[in-house]
Amino acid sequence: MDRIVIRGGRQLNGTVRIESAKNAVLPILAACILSRGECLLHGIPPLHDVFTISQLLMRLGVAVRTERPGLLRIHTPDVIQTEAPYDLVRKMRASVLVMGPLLTRFGVAKVPLPGGCAIGNRPVDLHLKGFQSLGADIEIKHGFIQASAERLYGARIYLDYPSHTATENIMMAAVLAEGTTYIENAAEEPEIVDVANFLNSMGARITGAGTKVIRIEGVRELGGTEYACIPDRIEAGTYLVAAAISRGDVTLTNVITEHLKPVIAKLQEAGAEFEGRNGTIRVIARERLRSVDVKTLPYPGFPTDMQAQMMSLMCVTEGISIVTETVFENRFLHVEELKRMGADIRIEGPSAIVRGVERLYGAPVKATDLRAGASLVLAGLVAEGQTDIFGVGHVDRGYVNIVGKLQALGADISRVNT
């Protein structure tokens, strides 16, 4: 079992290139099920979650060929399996994203109830209500969800909550429905715009993605395409915090600054300085930053996927920060681990009160989920002494070569196989 070993205290300096967005690549790979043609996808990051969904597609009968690292050629034949295997769905709840494409193209989709995970019970009721509104029958038994419909028909769907993947799943189901669908109170994340652009490149007719109302005019079929996904705003945000916490000077390449506005605004409020021009961002933190309050919200609010990383920074800033998590019900699992490193944090309901301390101390700690793992790496960068991070598999789900990238920026970090 691998662990990450960090000796803190190094300032990060240099340049790091950001990968394509995990949370755009996953739904776009699922969306390839909709195409009668070939899809050529560029810049696909070698993440564990990407490997898992590629395996899932192949188990369904979809041809997934790696032309060269990062370049996938995908073709879905006219007849495939429509039941997603439990062992893969259990590993990654984003597997539920194959439901919409399977249902609308093949008339049936059977997916194990995606389990909860460390950060919450993660229901999929909004996905299923959307499919029902489009005319699907939904049956849940023996731990499986089965959605079926001769044909789907356009509908006006109001989401109780702007769910990120529910918006994507319903949008994908609607592209081949008969008639026009409106998704209201839709999620507005940049990844949803990327999925819509991908679908439109195959011949779909979607407008309004990235706003509260998305309009999908059903078409008869979708063809092949060639596409490259947007950069990962969460990976980028993580490296911005790595530079800030180490009081370094780091330039990120392959970024879309617009997508990072909530994170940049918060780091500027804390005292970090930024310079940006076409596709790059430079962040400089010359002295100890100030504590600021953080409240997670659906996009364009501050992203929940950056909450743990921001909390690590607030552990060593000047003052008191109130970090409030409004999106998931249990996304403070990193708090106990940070306290083992000397952080001063008190949880009060949906908020964590973080009192900045002079320094953190290295300790053996455990990652419980993807972003919690990232937050422990960030804390290790600045802690006095050695930090050993266990549960590295969680980090590998969302970060390509985080050890190599941080080493290149000057961190004393390595990966040890125990």
Q: Is 39 a catalytic residue?
A: no
Q: Is 230 in the site for ligand EPZ (CB under 6 A)?
A: no
| Token pair of 357 as six digits | 């301390």
- Please pick, from the candidates 6, 47, 56, 94, the single residue that binds ligand EPZ as defined by CB under 6 A: 94
List strand residue ranges (DSSP E) for 225-293, in order: 225-228, 249-253, 273-277, 280-284
Q: What is the rounded CA–CA span in Å between residue 70 and residue 384?
A: 38
Residue closer to ligand EPZ, measured from CB, 187 or 338: 187
Residue closer to ligand EPZ, measured from CB, 61 or 123: 123
Q: Identify whether the C-beta of residue 23 lies closer than 8 Å to the C-beta of residue 193.
A: no
Helices 164-174 & 22-31, crossing angle to 10 degrees?
20
Q: Minimum distance between the CB of residue 109 and ligand EPZ, rounded to whole angstroms? A: 15
Q: How far is CA 103 from the centre of its chain?
A: 24
Cis peptide before 364 (omega within 30 of 0): no
Q: Is 126 in the site for ligand EPZ (CB under 6 A)?
A: yes
Residue closer to ligand EPZ, measured from CB, 80 or 117: 117
Residues 141-170 vs ligand EPZ: string with x where CB under 6 A? Answer: --------------------x-xxxx----
Q: Minimum distance between the CB of residue 170 and ligand EPZ, rounded to whole angstroms? A: 10
Q: What is the rounded CA–CA span in Å between residue 267 and residue 66?
A: 38
Q: What is the rounded CA–CA span in Å between residue 375 and residue 372?
A: 5
| Contacts (CB under 6 A) with ligand EPZ, residues 15-74 | 22-23, 26
Q: Which residue has the tokens 């306290």?
A: 339
Choices 38-46, 124-132, 195-203, 349-357 (CB under 6 A): range interacting with ligand EPZ: 124-132
Q: Identify the active-site residue in 32, 39, 117, 229.
A: 117
- Please pick, from the candidates 328, 332, 390, 399, the single residue that binds ligand EPZ as defined by CB under 6 A: 328
Residue closer to ligand EPZ, measured from CB, 194 or 381: 194
- Please pick, from the candidates 195, 327, 378, 400, the single residue that binds ligand EPZ as defined by CB under 6 A: 327
Span between the terminal Cα atoms of the chain, in Å: 5
Residue closer to ligand EPZ, measured from CB, 188 or 291: 188
Classify burial at 189, counting beta carbons within 10 Å of its beta carbon; exposed 0-12, middle 13-18, buried 19 or more.
Answer: buried
Q: Identify whether the C-beta of residue 113 lies closer than 8 Å to the C-beta of residue 122.
A: no
- Please pick, from the candidates 305, 325, 337, 396, the single residue that binds ligand EPZ as defined by CB under 6 A: 305
Q: Identify whether the C-beta of residue 188 lies closer than 8 Å to the C-beta of residue 300.
A: yes
**Which residue numbers are catalytic?**
117
Q: Which residues bind ligand EPZ (CB under 6 A)?
A: 22-23, 26, 94, 120, 122-127, 161, 163-166, 304-305, 327-328, 370-371, 398
